[in-house]
Amino acid sequence: MPLVPSICPYCGVGCGLLLDVEGGKVVRVIPNKNHVLSKGKVCGKGASAHKSLYLPSRLTRPLKRVGGSFVEVSWDEVLNEIADKIKEIREKYGGRAIAIYGGCQNTLEEVYLMSKLVRFLGSNNVDSCARVCHEPSATALRETVGVGASGTSVEEMVNAKVIVIAGEQLTESHPVLVDYLLKAKERGAKVVVIDPVFTKTARYATLFLQVNQGTDVYLYNAVANYLIQNGLYDKEFVMKRTKGFEDYVRVISRYTIEKAEKITGVPKGKIIEFAELISQKGVIFSWGLGLSEGGGVDAVRAYLNLMLLTGNVGFSGAGPIVYRGQSNVQGSGDLLKPWQLPNGPLTPENAERLSRIWGFPVPLERGLTVTDALLNDNSVRAMILVNFNVAHSMPNRAKVIRRLRELDLLVVLDAYMTETAELAHYVLPVAMWAESEGSVTSLDRLVKWRFKAVDPPGEARQTLFVLADLGERLGLRTGRDPREVFEEMKEVVPLYSKLGLADVMDHSKNSRYPNGELVLYSEKFLTKDGFAHFVPVEYREIDRRGNGLVLITGRVVTHYNTDSLSRYMGDIEEAIYLNPEDMRELGIREGQEVLVRSQCGEARVKARKMEGLKRGFAFMPNFLDSVNYVVCDVLDPETRIPLYKSTEVTVTPLSN
């Protein structure tokens, strides 16, 4: 059988794979040398991705909760019952009582149908897991330069003179991109890493700034003031291509290098060296979850302001790169937003335009984010979760689990019996990445097609089919062919309107939105007025109520998100990592069991030392069962992302 082209199901790089099929099973994954971005490279998870298809926890038949257990039922029975219950809830409470939230493994076509179905039901309660990772990045990018995505390609790293990496472990989260980083270094590029932890990525750094978690805004504002005071900014670019500079100067003029040293913990000399490095042309400003989940939207705004100030955008070897963490998190974030329609802002004009295409009225009331629906607002009575394990991935897990149990109707579409599925009234088994087809958008704005290689197990169905079948029972007729849905999506979503399906299906072709450019903004910005906009922000000191440690969460290379897709890689110890000096001060031995406690919960784990971690901080992998029982549900006020990297904890040794 010919090798089947696909896209890796893990991080947002979207590496090209070729699937070797024998006897109806994927037996081997081969890196695709013709893929336009990954060029025959793949990490360890990607090379063994086919193993995720055959875990014993796969679901094969629809399940219905009866009392305290599940019973198997037919597809007709389960879909009819779900449709009837949704109609009852809508009749009794209105459309706003219904929500559909999706994970970021879903294809663009599946995401588009979720967005359409929830509006048909009279609700804008629609969101994705992009909310809990890079919604601050998308928001800041849209208001600054126009598009909530990377403005340059990772292929451009090799043309940069300086690459700044803020809050990101490439080696753990996006290993294939290390190859681009090393090629850039071979060509003379300087690498700046900004992180509270001396990571493996920091080993590649020319300059490492070990910043105190949550102080990014002060650092970047102080650097901006230094650049302006010393005439090291691009005056012509600022004058001709930006707006808001005067207001920005008024804000950052109060921020000094001297005070930045005290607040951030970074020596003054290193801060000045950083400022002078980024004052030249050819600087890529890249970042990961450490920035967005650590400081929210204001941290990203302050960072992007430096890009505008130095004029490092709109040409080869410069611009912004967001290190997205899932294979279609960019596409999910583009299409699933409770405050925005797929065709643009939530305005009467856009709603009317969309109503003409869809053939039904589109609601105008602002919807609930998934974080607010689970943590702050009890108005949702029926929730459909599509490949989204919120009972594991959300902060304050105990609170989220209580909220899920309160729902009148919880429907979970998933390939596995996850912690969220265990709480559902109905569990619908769906196909995985190699068992269905459709398109995904990488962190590079590259849209590529996954081709179906094998059938799903048992009675599991493609997610697109399940959504279409449910929609039909509710009165909405939609396409079931992903190619047809793709073309309809293009008609609705401006960013995707110029893509050609043939190029999307050819993994050797550049099929980046909006117009195939590696580098955006060379002539104008995609804001309403065509200018880039400075967005001045003030530093807000994080309120520390005690003398505990600040817990930082993050990824490790061998596991992935809530671990349902990477469990075959083996178990990992439930542990918290501490600075050795903090361990000595707290009387904690290596490997000793400790109690980690926050205002939201507690967990018993092993203590392990981490040499590169700053004093006063602790680290836990973000996929551990225990971690989100401890992480508190403090949300960024504007984008409603949980600030996963700012929970204060105490760590107490327990007797052996």
pLDDT, one tens digit per residue, over 170-211 is 988 899 999 999 999 999 999 999 999 998 999 999 999 999
Average pLDDT over residues 477-488: 96
Q: 450: which strand partners?
A: 438
Band (pLDDT 50/70/90 cuts) for residue 45 is: confident
pLDDT at position 148 over 70: yes
| Residue 118 is assigned to a structural domain of this protein | yes
Using the 3D structure, point to which of 298, 323, 348 is the last residue of a domain.
323
CATH number of the domain enclosing 409: 3.40.50.740
Residues 340 and 210 in one domain: no
Using the 3D structure, point to which of 323, 340, 370 is the last residue of a domain.
323
Tracing tokens 């920035």 back to the chain, one arrives at 291
Residues 344 and 215 in one domain: no
d(CA 285, CA 298): 16
| Residue 89 is assigned to a structural domain of this protein | yes
> Phi then psi for 350, rounded to 5 degrees?
-65, -40
d(CA 570, CA 340): 40
Predicted pLDDT at 112:
98
Band (pLDDT 50/70/90 cuts) for residue 560 is: very low
Average pLDDT over residues 455-474: 98
Give residue 401's identity as a one-letter amino acid code: I
Using the 3D structure, point to which of 291, 323, 355 is the last residue of a domain.
323
CATH number of the domain enclosing 280: 3.40.228.10
d(CA 214, CA 119): 37
Residues 185 and 105 in one domain: no
CATH number of the domain enclosing 567: 2.40.40.20
Average pLDDT over residues 236-253: 98
d(CA 171, CA 139): 26
d(CA 200, CA 178): 11
> Taking each helix axis from N to C terminus, what angle separates 257-264 and 216-229, rounded to the nearest 10 degrees?
160
Residues 559 and 465 in one domain: no
Average pLDDT over residues 224-235: 98
Band (pLDDT 50/70/90 cuts) for residue 563 is: very low
Average pLDDT over residues 56-60: 92
The residue range of the domain holding 10 is 4-54
pLDDT at position 542 over 70: yes
| Residue 351 is assigned to a structural domain of this protein | yes
Alpha-carbon radius of gyration of the chain: 24
Overall pTM surpassing 0.75 (yes/no): yes
Which residue, 428, 432, 393, is CA-closest to 413? 428
Give tens-digit pLDDT for 430-453.
999 999 999 999 999 999 999 999
Residues 348 and 409 in one domain: yes
Tracing tokens 């700044």 back to the chain, one arrives at 164
Which residue, 472, 462, 435, is CA-closest to 451? 435
Token digits of residue 409: 């109707």
Secondary structure (DSSP) of 38-58: TTT---HHHHTGGGGGG-TTB
Predicted pLDDT at 511:
97
Average pLDDT over residues 407-433: 97
Average pLDDT over residues 297-312: 98
Residues 177 and 37 in one domain: no
Please tell me the total count of domains within the chain: 4
d(CA 277, CA 163): 10
Residues 67 and 44 in one domain: no
Greater confidence (133 vs 34) lies with 34
518, 310 Cβ separation under 8 angstroms: no
Predicted pLDDT at 29:
96
Residues 16 and 95 in one domain: no
Q: Which residues contact 347 (CB under 8 A, 6 or more apart)?
A: none
621, 556 Cβ separation under 8 angstroms: yes
Determine what percent of the chain is predicted with pLDDT higher than 90: 88
d(CA 279, CA 268): 17
> Phi then psi for 79, rounded to 5 degrees?
-70, -35
Predicted pLDDT at 569:
52
Band (pLDDT 50/70/90 cuts) for residue 312 is: very high
Give tens-digit pLDDT for 343-385.
999 999 999 999 999 999 999 999 999 999 999 999 999 999 9
Give residue 459's identity as a one-letter amino acid code: E
- DSSP assignment letter at 652: E
Lowest mean pLDDT among 104-118, 544-558, 567-581, 596-610: 544-558
Which residue, 421, 425, 416, 428, is CA-closest to 390? 421
Band (pLDDT 50/70/90 cuts) for residue 562 is: very low
CATH number of the domain enclosing 29: 2.20.25.90
Which residue, 298, 282, 275, 163, is CA-closest to 224? 275
| Residue 442 is assigned to a structural domain of this protein | yes
| Residue 399 is assigned to a structural domain of this protein | yes
39, 46 Cβ separation under 8 angstroms: no
| Residue 592 is assigned to a structural domain of this protein | yes
CA 58 to chain centre: 24
Residues 141 and 191 in one domain: yes
422, 403 Cβ separation under 8 angstroms: no
| Residue 14 is assigned to a structural domain of this protein | yes
Band (pLDDT 50/70/90 cuts) for residue 557 is: low
Residues 152 and 22 in one domain: no
Average pLDDT over residues 229-249: 98
Q: Which residues contact 368 (CB under 8 A, 6 or more apart)?
A: 99, 125, 127, 338, 377, 379, 380
Band (pLDDT 50/70/90 cuts) for residue 247 is: very high
Q: 617: which strand partners?
A: 550
Token digits of residue 609: 């030392």
| Residue 449 is assigned to a structural domain of this protein | yes
Residues 107 and 165 in one domain: no
Band (pLDDT 50/70/90 cuts) for residue 2 is: confident
Mean model confidence pLDDT for the chain? 94
Determine what percent of the chain is predicted with pLDDT higher than 70: 96
Residues 127 and 162 in one domain: no
